Amino acid sequence: MAEFLDTEDELNEKYSELYKILDKSQNISFFTGAGISTAAKIPDFRGDHGLDKAPLNIAQMGISERNLDSKMPTLGHRIISMLMKLDTRFKFVATSNHDGLHQKSGTPWEKSANVFGTAFIEECLTCKTQYIRQVITPALHRKCDDENCDGKLKKTGVRYGQTVPVGPLRRAEEAAQASDLVIVLGSSMRTYPFCDLPSLSNCFVVCNKQDTPYDNEAKLCVHDNIDNFMGRIFYHLFPGEEEKLNMEYRQDFAMNVVGEEVIVSTPRVNEPAVFIDNIQLKLPNGKMRNFELKMNGDFSLPLEQIPEHTLTYQVLVEFKSGFEVDKTEVTFMLGEESKGALIKNVTYDL
Ligand SMILES: [Zn+2]
């Protein structure tokens, strides 16, 4: 599908119309597609540079999940989460993406629906409990968080041709029905059943760089970059408050003495620190000891390799490629469930 942008005159006219619609709406939800994530360098399936131009197996599987942990939300994602925080008229976001960027930008899980599942939610195949992870965890060798269950874990992300889970779809449907305005962002509106949802509301507007089969039903179709579109909305409603869009991204990890080993993981059950590439312990004499990666994704160092137990551990942590920070030094207290935080400041310009 060819991509195009409206001319500046067209855009100015459309944005003044959009502000009028926004100002009289009381219950607003967002429906987002792959186009909102392209600025985070996650390919769109149907855009000019989309994955449908890639070999079939990659197109079927979507973006490689391994790379998603280091992707940061776009300005569009961030504005949606801040609007929902600052203005009670913004209620909900439903997405056809499984990249988790809405949640990473601060949108609470209960105010969002991942209609096609997400790589960040795992379900136990035996007891059906769902677990929300902060990082994408490899399924190999991992079992249900409930020790008595022993069921296998599986990610909820849906591939092409698979059935869509009922829960998120129903919540997205209810949100559209309750809305007097649905804003569709970056969706070519060709993926069933997602494409049918916005028209359940009283009124919907579309921002996309391609025509969609639903344009005739839409109150307004804006052909613009999503970050620009969302930036205009934010500036219209909260001029001068752009600083609120900046965010901190953090990933905690914990270091514990378990039996005869020092273990580094995340502080969360069943969630290894997969964002870590390598860890070294700095001994007081300046020498380094390498942690080893265990089968379950944790890192371990035998206690016997530490000549003297000091009160604090100095650790050098290297992160996987893709993060802007590649290493950091952390001090852990012995015997406590110590936390170290990878802090990354993400700043956005309107
Ligand atoms: Zn289970």
State the distance from the centre of ligand 1 to the C-alpha of 141, rounded, in angstroms.
Answer: 14
State the distance from the centre of ligand 1 to the C-alpha of 98, rounded, in angstroms.
Answer: 23
Res 62: pLDDT:
44
Q: What integer best gives the mean pLDDT of the chain?
A: 86
User: Does 53 score more than 50 pLDDT?
Assistant: no
Res 159: pLDDT:
64
- Of residues 127, 347, 133, the one with CA closest to residue 248: 347
Domains with residue ranges and CATH for the chain: 8-119+157-245 (3.40.50.1220), 247-346 (2.60.40.760)
User: Does 114 score more than 60 pLDDT?
Assistant: yes
Res 61: pLDDT:
38
pLDDT, tens digit, 9 for 90 and up, residues 274-302: 888 999 999 888 899 999 999 888 999 99
User: Does 345 score more than 90 pLDDT?
Assistant: no
State the distance from the centre of ligand 1 to the C-alpha of 228, rounded, in angstroms.
Answer: 44
**Residues with beta carbon < 5 A to ion ligand 1?**
124, 126-127, 144, 149, 151
User: Does 56 score more than 60 pLDDT?
Assistant: no
Query: Quick one: average pLDDT of 61-81?
Result: 79
Res 278: pLDDT:
92
User: Does 175 score more than 80 pLDDT?
Assistant: yes
User: Does 161 score more than 70 pLDDT?
Assistant: no
State the distance from the centre of ligand 1 to the C-alpha of 165, rounded, in angstroms.
Answer: 18
How confident is residue 58, by pLDDT bands cut at 50, 70 and 90?
very low
State the distance from the centre of ligand 1 to the C-alpha of 147, rounded, in angstroms.
Answer: 8
State the distance from the centre of ligand 1 to the C-alpha of 153, rounded, in angstroms.
Answer: 8
How confident is residue 55, by pLDDT bands cut at 50, 70 and 90?
very low
Highest mean pLDDT out of 136-145, 184-193, 235-244: 235-244
